[in-house]
Structure 1
Amino acid sequence: MKSNQRKVRLAVSGLLLAAVVATGIFAYNQDHAKEEQAKAQQEEVKDNLSESTEEPAEDVNTSNADADLPENETAETSPTVTPEVTATPEPTEAPSETPAPEAGQTATDTVLPNLDFNENTVLTAPMSGISGEVLIPYSMDSTVYFPTLDVYKCSPAVVLAAEVDTPVAAVAKSQVVSVEETAETGLTLTMDMGNGYQAVYGQLKDVTLQAGDTVEAGTVIGNISEPTRYYVKEGSNLYFGMTKDGASLDPTEYLALQAE
């Protein structure tokens, strides 16, 4: 009886020992497998890291290209310059053309009047009802007396007696050269009669003509004014002179002075 119980105990002990050994072996195998798996993962990670650190050939070229660019710029980030497009201006209207003169017509013909004064031209009287009294004669060869100034000197024109407000007319077809105010002859009108001849009218008022205006012979160009301080004693008058190419002429040789 006791012998059988002892065998049973030995058998149970053997089974327990076997179970413990088997459990230990199984646990060992599991731990070993885990270690192997962990090593394999570590190796795989190392392989991936080594591959990622290697630079491919095309990356080397990119790096070289980047080295030639300015600092903080790369080939990929360098801005692209867009060419500026200049807007083409819209065409403007062509200026109107000035019509050309007709055939045979010159610019001179369209601007200058036909002035043809000569020694044979008959002058129109500058004043109607002129008295013919010459207050101061023309004289460039010798001196004559000027009452107001109380001096003797040459006279390049004739000073004709005339009442204030008497109309004064152009002695020939003329073009106005100048209209000016002088201390000696007051409002003075110089007119071109053509061929170098000019007429000078002084002591005037109410002149409306301007330089460039053209008038026919006998056209009223102004009225007699009060005399300037150079002709107080002589009284109101018409200062009338003539020139040829700037040289003084005796107006009495071209103008017949008639008495009333």
Structure 2
Amino acid sequence: MRYVKLGRKPLLIGVGHHWAVRVESSSSNGCWYEILGNSGNSAKTDQNEIGRSYTRAAKSGAGSLGGSTVGKTTKSDEEIDDFISSWLSQNPKYGLYAANCQKFATEFIAWLTDDNYNISAAFDTGNVETKSNSLTHAVAHDGTAYACASLGEGRGAIGPYSVVARLPTAHAGVSDGTEGLYAVAEASAIRYEANYGNVVGAHVDVNVNTGLGFRNGNAEAHLLGFGGRVGTDGVEVNTPLGGIRIPALGAPINWIGGLFR
């Protein structure tokens, strides 16, 4: 059993993120996988290429704050190589609204975890197709522990539009600083979320989410559904019935972060 992490890096344009995926058995033993090219750090080209790096952060700088564990995998390195070869044959050309870093990362995570993963970040752009996600597992790894149980989740993106639909879900988690510093207990009866690129997002979410801390590049505080977060994903205001997010307000944070990560 190995652990799967999602790492993100703010883009220098100030809005949006580059995504990378790490498969690791420990903080010192793992490999990052990410698309190079227009969304990575290599020379500008429209030919998709998957880069590998064995450092603490990905070659692009994604995951420099530790990343966030999203699930577990039993896939071998040989199976991973086969998946990547197949994915590249189906997605040979990079496209901001098509086969980009977020499409690769999401579909790679879904395959690694057999569609049992916990991604909380919204898509910026892309053309992402995944099966329904069971979102029911527990993780205790490298200073972070969480457990989630859900009747299912669906997510996808077409161009700048993305949606998430989640059935009743419960989640509890803590981290000692490796992947943030937080303690949360969340319970949601149902959630529907829609986003338009890095401009605006809104959601209906019947919830009593409670927690405090810093995770996924955002500072957050919630009590029985009331609260919000601010950081790399912009500014979000929440109530027990839903909320609104304005990603563009995170542009100054992302621009500064992009200079150092």
Q: TM-score range by the shorter chain?
A: under 0.3
**As a proportion of its length, which structure holds more strand?**
2
Which fold has the larger relative contact order, with Cα–Cα distance below 8 Å and residues 6 or more apart in sequence?
Answer: 1
Normalising to structure 2: TM-score of the pair?
0.21
